[in-house]
A and B are shown apart, each in its own frame.
Chain A
Amino acid sequence: MIADFGLRISECKGSRGQGIQGSRESCRRRSRTPTFPCLSQQGWAERLKAFMVVFAIALLLGAIPAGAAKLTARQVLEKAAGHYEVIEDYTADAEVTVESPSIHMPEMLAKIYYKKPDKLHLESKDGFAMLPKRGVVVGNPFRDLMAGSKLSLVRSECVLGKDCYVVKGSFSQEGCVVESTVWIDKKDWLVRQMHSNPEWGPSVKLKLWYTRVGRRYWLPLTTAAQVSLPPFPGAEPENKARSDRPTIVTIRFANYRVNTGLSDEIFKEQERGN
C-alpha cells in the first residue's frame, strides 16, 4: 500500500518535473481542474484512501507502545487485579503434591473453598489435611503489594513463554517488610510469576498456569510454590544439604464452581483452627 502510494506521488512528480512540495501544490491546484490526466476524480479518491490507511497503520504502530509506556506499576497491578475482583467465591477440587525435606506426605486430594478476601477452607477425603500456608495461592496473590507504598514497573521479561511486565514493590506484613516482584502477562493481565522475600522468614517463589472457567473467569489450573520452611522443633535433619532444600508445593485445580454464594459458616471451623 505504501509502495503503491509512493509510486503515485512519483508518477505525479515525474509528470510535472517538480519536488514533492511543488507536486502537492500543483495537485491541489489541479484538483480544481479535473480535466488534467493524472489527477482525475478517481485518482484523487484512491490517494486519499491510501493516505487514510497509512495514517491508521502509523497511528496503530505508534500508539500501542506509547500508551503502554505510560502505564504505571499500580495501573498494571489494577488491571491484573480485575481478574480477581469478579470472583466472590469458588470451590475446587485440588490435587496437592508436597516435595519437602521435612514434610513427607503423599499426593493429597482436597476440596478447597475460597471466599473473598482471604477466607479459605480445606476438606480432605482422608479426614486430615495439612498444607504449607505460603504454598497455597487463592484469591488475589498481590493484594498486600497493592496496599504497599513503593511500586515500580521495572522491566519487561518473558516468563513461561509469555511477555510480562515486571512490577516490584514492598509492603509491611506483621511488622516485617516484604519485598515482592510480580510478573504480569502483557496480553491478558494474568500473574504468571511472583517472588516474595520477607525481611526475615522464608521466601516464596510462585508460578501460575491458568484455565478459563465459564468463559468469564481466569483461575489457576496449576500453582507451583517454592517455599523455604523453618525446621520443626525436634526434627533432626539427616544431612545439611537435604535440610536446605526448599519445599515445593504443587496444586492442580479442577472442577471450579465460581460465585455460588458460599456461606461464611463453612469457613468458621478453619478460622478457629488457625
Chain B
Amino acid sequence: MLIELRLEVLKVLRRPRTYVGPVAMGLLIAAVLVGLKYSHPFDNVQKRLAQDFIICGSFINAAFLTRYLLDGIVYMFLPLFTCVVCGDLIASEAADGTLRALLCRPVKRSSVAASKYAVCVAYVLALVLGTGLAAYLAGSVFLGRGSLVLHEEGIWILPERTAIGRLVAAYVLVAAGMVAVGSISFMISTFLSNSNGAIAVAIGIMYGSAVIGQIDYFAKLRPYLLTTHLDKWQHFFTGALDVQLLARSVAALLIYSALALLIGLLIFERRDVLS
C-alpha cells in the first residue's frame, strides 16, 4: 500500500494540472489583495459607518482578506481545481492505457484505488487549507493584522484570536466540502475514461444540489444536500461558534465522501479495463 501511495504521489506531482490550482489560487489571492489595498472597495461602508461611529484604523486586514476570499472561491475555483485533479486520477490513466498495465501487476485493485483516493484527499486539504494560510500570511504582510469586522445583520467585530479560530473552522468545513466534491469526482472517474466528464458531472452535482436547495418544493431534502452543509461556514462569523453545527456539517460531508469512495471502490473492483 505504501509503495502504491508513493507512486501515486509521484505521478500527481509530475502532472502539470496538479499545479494549476495552487498557482491560480496564488494569483487570485494577489489580485484580491491588490484590489483591497489600492481600490478601496469598502470606502462607502466606512463612510456610512463614520456618520455614527468614531473609527480608528481600517478593517481591511489579513483576517478580512481570508474571509473575503471564501465568498469567491467556495463555489467557483475550489470545486473546479479539486475536480481537475481528483477526477483525473483514474480516468486519465484509463484513457492513456496505463491503468490496464498497472492492474496487470500483482496489486489489489482496492489498494490502487485507496492510494489514489488518499492522494486526492491530501491534495484537496493542501489546496483549501493552503489557500487560507497563504491568504492570511500575505494579508499580514501587506495589509496588517487585526480584528475581523463584518457587516452582516449588523456589525460584527471579532478580535484577532477569535477571528483566526472562526477562519480555521470555516476553512476546515470548506475543506470537508471539497473532499466530498473531490470524492464524487473520483467516484465518477472510476467508470469514465474521460476526466473532463468526471469534472463536469461532479461540479454539476454540486450546482444541482445548490439549485434544489433554493426550491421550496424540495425543502424536505435540504438537510441532506451537500451544499446545505457546505454553506454553513457563513454562520461561523456571526454569533457564538456553534461547535455542534460544525461537527454535524463536517460529519455529513464526510458521509458524502465515504459513500462516494465506497461506490467508487465497488465500481473499480468490478470494472472491465479494456482500454
Residue of B nearest to A123 (CB): B56
Q: Does B106 contact A (CB under 8 A)?
A: no
Contact indicator A274/B160 (Cβ below 8 Å): no
How many residues on chain A are close to B (CB under 8 Å)? Answer: 36
Q: How many residues of B contact A (CB 8 A)?
A: 30
Tell me which of A101, A131, A230 contacts B54 (CB under 8 A): A131
Which parts of B127-146 form the interface with A (CB within 8 Å)?
Answer: 144-146
Instruction: Give A140-178 interface residues, CB cut-off 8 Å to B.
Output: none
Interchain CB contact under 8 A, A126 and B154: no
Q: Are A132 and B53 in contact (CB under 8 A)?
A: yes
Rounded to whole angstroms, the CA-CA distance of A131 and B52 in the bound complex is: 8
**B50 CB contact (under 8 Å) in A121, A123, A273:** A273
- 1/0 per residue A104-127: CB within 8 Å of B? 111010100000000011111011
Q: Which residues of A contact B107 (CB under 8 A)?
A: none
Complex CA–CA separation, A108 to B54 (angstroms): 14
Chain A residue at minimum C-beta to C-beta distance from B58: A128
Q: Are A105 and B48 in contact (CB under 8 A)?
A: no
Inter-chain contacts of A121 with B (CB < 8 A)? 56
Q: B149: CB under 8 A from chain A?
A: yes
The answer on a CB contact under 8 Å between A236 and B52 is no
Q: Does A130 contact B (CB under 8 A)?
A: yes
B160 and A102 within 8 A (CB)? no
**A229 in the interface (beta carbon within 8 A):** yes
Q: How far is the CA of A126 from the CA of B57 in the complex (A)?
A: 9
Which B residues are CB-close (under 8 A) to A238? 153
B157 contacts chain A at the CB level, 8 A cutoff: yes
User: B159 contacts the other chain (Cβ, under 8 Å)?
Assistant: yes
Q: In the bound complex, what is the Cα–Cα distance between A234 and B173 (angstroms)? A: 26
Max count, chain B CB within 10 A of own CB: residue among A101, A104, A131, A238: A104
Are A127 and B146 in touch, CB under 8 angstroms?
Answer: yes
Contact present for A105 and B144 (CB under 8 Å)? no
Closest CB-CB distance, A272 to chain B, in whole Å?
A: 10
On chain B, the residues within 8 Å of A129 by CB distance are: 54-57
Q: How distant is A204 from chain B, measured CB to nearest CB, in Å?
A: 12
Which B residues have a C-beta under 8 Å from some C-beta of A? 48-50, 52-59, 61, 144-147, 149, 151-160, 162, 238-239
* A residues whose Cβ falls under 8 Å from a Cβ of B: 100-106, 108, 110, 120-124, 126-134, 136, 229-230, 232-238, 270, 273-274
**Apart from A106-B158, A106-B159, A130-B56, what 19 extra A-B contacts exist at CB < 8 Å?**
A103-B155, A104-B238, A105-B156, A106-B162, A126-B147, A128-B55, A128-B61, A129-B56, A130-B49, A130-B54, A130-B149, A130-B157, A132-B52, A133-B53, A232-B154, A235-B152, A236-B153, A238-B153, A270-B54
